[in-house]
Every structure is written in C-alpha cells, then in structure tokens.
Structure 1
C-alpha cells in the first residue's frame, strides 16, 4: 500500500535509499517503521530525559533526523541509543522495530557495500546483516560510547560471514562465470582490509575495531580510550602499534611477499629440513670448482663396458662407435 502525502517516509532515509533500492528485509523494516510514525500519535521518545533533544515527546522520525545531523553530539546519540536498546530489551516488538528503523541509514550502506560486486542472491546476505544487528541489540554494552558504531560493526561481521559462505559454496556449472570476486578483491575497502587482517592473524578483533572505529567512523580516540578503560596516551599507542602491524602486512601483500601465515609455514619447513640427522637430498657444489658448468658434465663418468660377442644376440651386428 502506498503511503499518502501525510504518511511520507522519514527524511533521514532519503540519502541512504536514493543510492540503491534495497530489496527484502530492509523494505519490510522501512515499511514497519513508517507505520510507527504515521498518524496523530506517533511513537516518540521523551526528550526531557535525553540531553540534546527538545524537552517534549519527540517522534521517532524526528529523532532519526536529529541523529544523522553532523552537529549532533556523540553524547546525545549514545543517550538516544541507550534509551532505545533498553526499551527493546524490556518490551521488544515496537521498540525493536524502532531500533532497526533508526539504524537503516547505517545498515543499508553496509549491505550495499558487501554486495555491490556480488552477482548472486543478495537476500541472504542482507538478512545476515540485519540478524547480526538484532543479535547485538541483546548484549551490546550500553556503558561504553559509540553504541551504534558497535552495532554496525556486529552487523557488518555477520554479513561478511554470510558473503564468504556464499562465495565458498560450490557454484552450478552454468553459473561458474557469474560468481563475484572475494572480499580480498573488492578494491581494498578499509572494512574488508581489517577483516582480512584479523582472519590472517595479523590483528586481533579488538585492534581492528579500534582502527576502524577511530579512523573510519566517528568515534573520537578519547571516547575509545574511555571505553577500553585506558588513558588517552595508552590507547593512542595501542592504535599506533596495530597500524604498524597492518602496514607491514599490506606492504608484504603489495610487494608479493609472504603473508605471516605463509612465513610461518616456510619457517617450519626449514626447521624440518635443517634438523640434525635430516637426510640431504642435494650434494653441495664444492667451492673449489672453478667452472661447474654443463661443459664438464660427463667427463669423469666411467666408460660403459662394451658387451662381448657372446652377449650379443645371434645374428646381431655390433656397430663401431666413433665416439670411443
């Protein structure tokens, strides 16, 4: 059913939706949220309890417009999401739909980013993104800052796992040319690079999250330090160490060098080859040999014994070799 002019879609969806129409679960979430803010009594938050909102009941679509404004303080965003998640956990239903609807401006770009080069069925990956978000609603730490950033990261990880599963699945013969490139071939997007570094054992999940949240999201380093229970300087040094490891990893990949995992396998092979008592399969060339080239090959081999007449078959004619 189309919404009338009095039931128009919330403004904070326009920029996210105009880039790419999203099928499936996000259409359902968008429609469900629109009904929450339709009519004379829309679902609202009590702005008097949240610093940064007007001191009145604030409809959820107006809350969403406030949250995506560039001037909105992080404290206001976290206070709103604390109120939303708390009510979702206590009451479910309406407030869980409210959380999903207000998160669409970050969930839709996550899903689009994961599937923009995937030519298979995207519905399962979009559903995994939403599932990761919903699961994180139940246990995200509301005492730490940047709540939505951490919810988005959980949704991204869930969608990324679904994408990898889809890429690793056996494809029908007729569809062999239609599979997408893996996440490692998606143009080096920061989120993909960080996830690849975690899977390679270069970074821990906490280190990747620290880089992603403070470099590519809007979480200030001071807030990250507070969330980690560290001083600003200690968190800054931790990020610097993580970025150095990431830079070394990317340099090795760019130069065609061995990854840490491959270097580990090479080192283990060398340990096995060099262990005491290991049988040598190659004879080292003597350093005194002045010309170990192919011209000397065969000059020191013993001459092959010439068979006698008795060893020849009856009637066989022995040819005289001119080389001897």
Structure 2
C-alpha cells in the first residue's frame, strides 16, 4: 500500500509539522513516531485517517491498521504472553477492538490514537480474562493419545505382577487397598490380623519389587518365586477387584 503502483499517500501541506509534499504512509508513520513530532500534528493526521477509513472503506481501514501497528504490536505482545490459548486468538480480538474504535472514536477530541489503542486493549484484555476464567482442558490438543509405558489400569497392573510372580495375592491386595482405595494401613492390618508395622514393611518390600518389575529390571520368563508374606487374611469381607483376575486370596496368604 505504500510502495505499490498506486500507493496511498497524504498531502503534507494539510498538516503543520510535515513537509509540503505528498508523503507515503510509511514515511508519515516514521515521522509521527519521532519524539519531536507535535501532538497536534499526530491528532490531525489520525483524525484525517479515521475520516478516510469511514468514507472510503477497505484500503484506508487497512492503512489505519498499518499506521497503528507499533502500538498494536505492543498490546499483542503483552496479552499473548499471558494468554493460555492460541496467541492468534487474542491478536484477532485486539484488531477487532481497534476496528470498532475506528467506527466510534470522536475525532474532534485530542489523542485519537491513544483512545484507539485503549479500545484495542480493552477488547484483547476481555478475551484474556475470559480465557483465564475458563476450565483448564484435560489435553491441550483435545484429543486422545496413547499412554506411556508402563501403562494400564492399576488393578490390571497388580494382577499382571501376581501372574508373573512378582507379588503375592495378599501383597497386591495390600497395595491396592491402601494405595488406590485410600484405606488406612492400620485398618487393613487390623482386618487381616497383623500389626501395622508388619504391614508397612510388607508393602514397602512389595512396592520395591513392583517398581523394578514395571521398569523391566526383574521380569524373566517363567519367574514364579514368591517371598514369604507376613500377613494372613482371615476376613470374609469382599476383596478388591484384583481377585477377579487372579482368583480368591488363599487362606494361607502364600
């Protein structure tokens, strides 16, 4: 728009403080960004640009956006750094606020660009506030993804560890009840006629083996060795769902 075959330009003779000749828009913007440019010159130029955008439409509207780009870019950087979603969304809101301001700003009042800038900022900030109040999505891509290994439902993991001989069925029940179901170790120990310290020690040893198993350190074909358990289940209450995969817990607790 500034360098094409029919570039948009302003007549510098209409504005005090600008050269008395036709000026391309990029030159006008460069001069207006200089500290020595009078505020009245800036206001006069912006009032003229807004009137052109309202009367002639698309080309001059885009010209206004280009002239305001340094101010809009600063707003976009600040908002996008805090925006939790796609930064282009907040960029679009800033631009929409600026365009709304072009249609409504009072060009008879001073500081036209400042008020256009605030219109853009308010629209972008409203979008930022709404995004920050929105619920946090489970996945940033809103789609399913394969889980990382080792993976699987916790009950299935415990059942597999029992089948591989890493845990006894009682140890799997101890881990599942106290780690997954939230049951206190003391309550579990009391219901299985053992002491809480013994239950803690049994769980700690079992979890060490389970972690090593999940990391692939101890899994071997045909592994069937089991460690002696320190608890003996005698309660008749229903067991956790791990028994659905491994069978009922034996009376001996082995």
Higher relative contact order (CA 8 A, sep 6+): 2
**2:38 counterpart (73, 77, 102):** 73
1:131-210 aligned within 5 A: 131-175=96-140
Q: Secondary structure at the match of 2:68?
A: helix
Distance in 1, matches of 2:83 and 2:125, equals: 12
Distance in 2, matches of 1:50 and 1:81, equals: 11
Q: Which has the larger radius of gyration?
A: 2
In the alignment, is residue 120 of structure 1 matched against residue 85 of structure 2?
Answer: yes
Q: Specify the alignment match of 1:63 in structure 2.
A: 28
**2:68 counterpart (72, 94, 103):** 103
Once the two structures are TM-superposed, the CA of residue 39 in structure 1 deviates from its matched residue by 3.2
Q: Give the ranges of 4+ consecutive aligned residues of structure 1 lying more than 4 Å apart after TM superposition.
A: none
Q: Specify the alignment match of 1:33 in structure 2.
A: none
TM-score where L is the length of structure 1: 0.42
Superposed CA offset, 1:224-260 (max 9, x none): xxxxxxxxxxxxxxxxxxxxxxxxxxxxxxxxxxxxx
Once the two structures are TM-superposed, the CA of residue 42 in structure 1 deviates from its matched residue by 1.9
Once the two structures are TM-superposed, the CA of residue 166 in structure 1 deviates from its matched residue by 1.1
Q: Confirm or deny: 8 A CA contact 2:83 2:131 kept in the other structure.
A: no
TM-score where L is the length of structure 2: 0.53
Q: Confirm or deny: 8 A CA contact 2:16 2:41 kept in the other structure.
A: yes
Superposed CA offset, 1:73-110 (max 9, x none): 10000010011000100011110000000000000100
Q: Go from structure 1 to structure 2 and tell me whether the alpha carbon gap of 1:39 and 1:173 turns closer, same or farther (over 3 Å shift).
A: closer
1:48-59 aligned within 5 A: 48-59=13-24
Q: Secondary structure at the match of 1:118?
A: coil
Q: Secondary structure at the match of 1:55?
A: coil
Gapped runs of 5+ residues in structure 2? 141-254
Gapped runs of 5+ residues in structure 1? 1-35, 176-324
Distance in 1, matches of 2:39 and 2:116, equals: 15
Q: Secondary structure at the match of 1:166?
A: helix
1:26-41 aligned within 5 A: 36-41=1-6
Once the two structures are TM-superposed, the CA of residue 38 in structure 1 deviates from its matched residue by 1.5
Give aligned pairs, total. 140
1:80-91 aligned within 5 A: 80-91=45-56
Superposed CA offset, 1:263-293 (max 9, x none): xxxxxxxxxxxxxxxxxxxxxxxxxxxxxxx
